[in-house]
Amino acid sequence: MKKILVLVGLSCAFFFGCGDDGDDSKKVDDDTCVSVYCDESGLLEQPAIGVRDGSGKTVITVDGYQFKDSNGNGSLDAYEDWRLSVSERAEDLVARMTANEKAGFINAPSASGMTTTTGSLKNDDGTWIETNSGYTSITTLFRRFGMITLSSSDQPARIATYNNSLNEICEGVLREDGSTGLGIPFVTCTNPTHGTNSNSTSLISAWPYAIGLGAITDPSVIEKYASTVRAELTALGIRSYYGPLADIATEPRWGRQNETFGSSPERVASFSTIVVRALQGGNSLKPGGIVCAIKHFPGHGAQWRGYDSHYKMGQYVVNPGDNFDMHIAPFEKVFREVAPAACMPCYAIYQDQPFEKVSPGYNAEIMNDLGRDQLGFTGYYTSDWGIFGLGGSLTAPPSAATFAAWGVEGLSLEEKIGKAMDAGMDQLGGHGSIMDIISALSYGYLSEKTLDRACVNILKGYFTMGLFENPYVDVDAATAICNTEESQAAGLDAMHKSIVMVKNSDTLPAASGISIYYDGTVDGSDAAQATFINETYGATVETDITQADIAVIRINGPAHGRYYPNEPTFLGYLGPSSRSLQFLDEDPDVQYGGSYTVDYTDALGNVHYGVMLSTNIDQYEKVMNAKKEIIDAGASTKLVVLVNADRPLVMKEFIDYVDAAFLTFGASDQAVLDILFSKDGLKPTGVLPFEIPSSDDQVEAQLEDLRDDTSNPLYKAGYSLTY
Per-residue pLDDT tens digits for 300-317: 999 999 988 887 778 899
* % of the chain at pLDDT higher than 90: 77
In the three-class reduction of DSSP (H, G, I as helix; E, B as strand; rest coil), residue 37 is classed as coil
> Using an 8 Å Cβ cutoff, are 182 and 93 in contact?
yes
Q: CA 426, CA 412: separation in Å to the nearest integer? A: 19
DSSP 416-472: HHHHHHHTT--BEET---SHHHHHHHHHTSS-HHHHHHHHHHHHHHHHHHTTTT---
What pLDDT is recorded for position 193?
A: 81
Does 319 have pLDDT greater than 50? yes
What pLDDT is recorded for position 578?
A: 55
Does 12 have pLDDT greater than 50? no
Does 392 have pLDDT greater than 50? no
What pLDDT is recorded for position 48?
A: 97
Q: What is the dihedral of CA 176, 177, 182, 185, to 10 degrees?
A: 20
What pLDDT is recorded for position 8?
A: 35
> Using an 8 Å Cβ cutoff, are 456 and 90 in contact?
yes
DSSP single-letter state for residue 361: G
**Shortest CA distance to 66 belongs to which of 81, 88, 85, 86?**
81
Per-residue pLDDT tens digits for 670-717: 999 999 999 999 999 999 999 999 999 999 999 999 999 999 999 999
Taking the CB of residue 496, how many other CB atoms lie within 10 A of it?
25
Cis peptide, bond prior to residue 252, ω within 30 of zero:
no
Q: CA 597, CA 587: separation in Å to the nearest integer? A: 10
Q: How confident is the model at residue 458 (pLDDT cuts 50, 70, 90)?
A: very high
Does 11 have pLDDT greater than 80? no
Per-residue pLDDT tens digits for 219-250: 999 999 999 999 999 999 999 999 999 999 99
What pLDDT is recorded for position 572?
A: 40
Q: How confident is the model at residue 525 (pLDDT cuts 50, 70, 90)?
A: confident
Q: CA 647, CA 249: separation in Å to the nearest integer? A: 9
CA distances for 694 relative to 445, 655, 714, angstroms: 52, 11, 5
Q: How confident is the model at residue 573 (pLDDT cuts 50, 70, 90)?
A: very low
Pairing verdict, β 145-147 and 607-613:
unpaired
> Using an 8 Å Cβ cutoff, are 334 and 294 in contact?
yes
pLDDT average, residue stretch 368-372: 98
Phi, psi of 554 (to 5 degrees): -105, 130
What pLDDT is recorded for position 645?
A: 94
Does 629 have pLDDT greater than 60? yes
Taking the CB of residue 186, how many other CB atoms lie within 10 A of it?
26
Does 397 have pLDDT greater than 50? no
Does 18 have pLDDT greater than 70? no
Q: How confident is the model at residue 478 (pLDDT cuts 50, 70, 90)?
A: very high
pLDDT average, residue stretch 313-342: 96
pLDDT average, residue stretch 12-18: 30
Per-residue pLDDT tens digits for 259-273: 999 999 999 999 999
Q: What is the dihedral of CA 550, 632, 627, 514, to 10 degrees?
A: 0
> Using an 8 Å Cβ cutoff, are 660 and 503 in contact?
yes
- The C-alpha angle 519, 521, 525, rounded to 5 degrees, equals 120
In the three-class reduction of DSSP (H, G, I as helix; E, B as strand; rest coil), residue 48 is classed as coil
Task: Give the predicted TM-score (pTM) of the model.
Answer: 0.92
* Helix and strand totals (H; E) in the chain: 19, 25
Q: How confident is the model at residue 13 (pLDDT cuts 50, 70, 90)?
A: very low
> By mean pLDDT, which of 102-106, 147-151, 437-441, 453-457 is the weakest?
147-151
What pLDDT is recorded for position 164?
A: 97
Q: How confident is the model at residue 592 (pLDDT cuts 50, 70, 90)?
A: low
Q: Which residues lie closer than 8 Å to 445 by C-beta, 6 or more apart?
A: 414, 415, 417, 418, 419
**pLDDT higher for 610 or 98?**
98
DSSP 490-553: HHHHHHHHH-EEEEESS--SPPTT-EEEEES-SSSSHHHHHHHHHHHH--EEPSSGGG-SEEEE
What pLDDT is recorded for position 362?
A: 97
> Using an 8 Å Cβ cutoff, are 617 and 609 in contact?
no
Does 396 have pLDDT greater than 80? no
> Using an 8 Å Cβ cutoff, are 388 and 408 in contact?
no
Per-residue pLDDT tens digits for 31-53: 689 999 999 889 999 999 999 99
Quick one: angle between helices 219-236 and 265-280, nearest 10? 40
Pairing verdict, β 607-613 and 584-585:
antiparallel
Does 71 have pLDDT greater than 70? yes
What pLDDT is recorded for position 143?
A: 97
What pLDDT is recorded for position 678?
A: 98
Average pLDDT, the chain: 90
**pLDDT higher for 594 or 492?**
492
Does 566 have pLDDT greater than 50? no
